[in-house]
């Protein structure tokens, strides 16, 4: 075995250019698999992280309230408190289409909504200054609001200046009691993540001239409890409406699971496409090994005449093919790993080479050497010593 390795290395070094060209297909194939799979995983991980920032443990509820059957906010809170072991936060959601004004300035694209005191925690935001909406504000329907950084900066110049100032929403004055810290580190855009106004949901319900609330957001205490939370909500809603067409319950974790499945499928598909180049490289290895057998026919005849068994001859050529593929695989791993980091940095994503892609591509490259090296090795082992010695 050791002698076969030595002879394989000698043969590879003795034909450097031919060996390199043989390895080139393996190098490109392995590097391609690592680059494609790692870049896709890195990009999709950034998408998943962005999606997760929306709240993986959030469950949204939408209902269609009818005169005969409707969901009362007090009943919803009673259900929420009875299931305190499952739920962490809850807020009604009342969306208002209106213009926010201060003096002669107005904001047309600002997201105005009514929420409970839990909404700040649900969004996982922190306050820049001031306080959050409180339970007492909701009970007494106080005309107070918490604004985003864009609103404070655009209308008042800073978060500090905005505190205790007054906004007009649908013609009614609301006192700013808190400013949420900046969310977008790059730009403060109209209609962006920092352009919002929150008011107590009880006040928003009156402002929207709609006595019923059709949307709620719940959060589970653990992502593992999401299914149990969803089941509990569906049972509660069915008892209320007696018709599952009148409500809809969606868990963000389910969408995240679906996204992860798509990522895995896409990574496998791209890896398979890149793997085709490894198959082509295997054909190249086989061709070169067949040429090598033809060139070394006389050598094979001498070895067989001196008593070398068929298995030894076969072993020599299989090892040589496997070593050629393995060396190409190692070079491909190094090249692919460096290229992955460089391309990832250029794209602005974190895309370290994945261990799975490295392991699979290297294993395939070695397997290709063994598989495609078998036919030339078998041909060499079957040569008749007398015919081989006659070869020129």
* pLDDT one digit per residue (tens) for the chain, 392 residues: 666 566 667 666 667 777 777 778 788 888 888 888 888 778 777 776 666 566 778 899 999 988 888 899 999 999 999 998 999 999 999 998 889 999 888 898 899 999 999 999 999 899 999 999 999 999 999 999 999 999 999 999 999 999 999 999 988 999 999 999 998 877 788 888 899 999 999 999 988 777 689 999 999 888 778 889 999 999 999 999 989 889 999 888 777 667 777 777 777 777 677 667 767 777 777 776 666 666 666 666 666 666 667 666 677 767 777 787 788 888 888 998 888 888 888 887 777 887 877 887 778 777 777 777 666 666 666 666 555 555 55
> Is 181:123 a contact under the CB 8 Å cutoff?
no
Spell out a b/e string for 354-368, using b for 16 or more CB atoms within 10 Å of the CB, else e.
beebbebbbebbbeb
Whether this model's pTM surpasses 0.75:
no
Q: Which two tokens stand for residue 63?
A: 């209902």
SS3 content of the chain, % helix, strand, coil (to 5): 60, 15, 25
Q: Which two tokens stand for residue 175?
A: 């006192």
Residue 91 — left, alpha, or beta (φ > 0 → left; ψ -120 to 50 → alpha)?
Answer: beta
Rounded to whole angstroms, what are the CA distances from 360 to 356, 367, 381? 6, 10, 30
Distance CA 194, CA 129 (A): 14
Cross-strand partners of 200: 115
Per DSSP, the three-state class of 164 is coil
Q: Which two tokens stand for residue 87?
A: 């739920």
């Amino acid at each position: 075995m050791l002698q076969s390795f030595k002879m394989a290395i000698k043969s590879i070094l003795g034909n450097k250019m031919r060996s390199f060209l043989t390895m080139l297909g393996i190098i490109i194939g392995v590097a391609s698999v690592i680059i494609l799979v790692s870049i896709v995983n890195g990009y999709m991980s950034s998408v998943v992280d962005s999606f997760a920032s929306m709240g993986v443990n959030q469950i949204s509820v939408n209902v269609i309230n009818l005169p005969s059957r409707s969901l009362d906010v007090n009943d919803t809170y009673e259900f929420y408190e009875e299931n305190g072991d499952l739920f962490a936060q809850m807020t009604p959601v009342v969306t208002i289409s209106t213009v926010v004004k201060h003096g002669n300035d107005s904001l047309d694209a600002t997201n105005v909504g009514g929420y409970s005191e839990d909404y700040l925690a649900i969004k996982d935001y922190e306050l820049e200054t001031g306080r959050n909406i409180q339970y007492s504000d909701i009970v007494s329907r106080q005309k107070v609001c918490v604004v985003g950084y864009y609103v404070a900066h655009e209308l008042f110049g800073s978060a500090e200046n905005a505190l205790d100032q007054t906004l007009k929403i649908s013609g009614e004055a609301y006192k700013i009691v808190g400013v949420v810290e900046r969310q977008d580190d790059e730009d403060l855009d109209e209609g962006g993540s920092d352009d919002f106004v929150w008011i107590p949901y009880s006040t928003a319900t009156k402002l929207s001239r709609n006595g019923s609330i059709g949307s709620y957001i719940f959060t589970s205490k653990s992502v593992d409890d999401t299914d149990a939370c969803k089941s509990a909500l569906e049972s509660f809603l069915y008892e209320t409406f007696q018709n599952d067409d009148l409500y809809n319950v969606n868990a963000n974790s389910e969408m995240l699971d679906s996204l992860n499945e798509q990522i895995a499928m896409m990574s496998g598909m791209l890896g398979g496409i890149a793997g085709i180049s490894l198959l082509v490289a295997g054909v190249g290895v086989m061709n070169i090994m067949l040429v090598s057998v033809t060139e070394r026919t006389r050598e094979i005849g001498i070895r067989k005449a001196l008593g070398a068994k068929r298995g030894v001859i076969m072993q020599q050529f299989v090892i040589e093919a496997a070593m050629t593929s393995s060396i190409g695989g190692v070079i491909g791993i190094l090249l692919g790993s460096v290229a992955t980091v460089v391309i990832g940095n250029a794209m602005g994503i974190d895309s370290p080479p994945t261990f799975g892609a490295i392991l699979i591509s290297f294993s395939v490259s070695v397997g290709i050497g063994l598989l495609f090296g078998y036919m030339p090795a078998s041909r060499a082992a079957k040569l008749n010593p007398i015919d081989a010695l006659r070869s020129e």
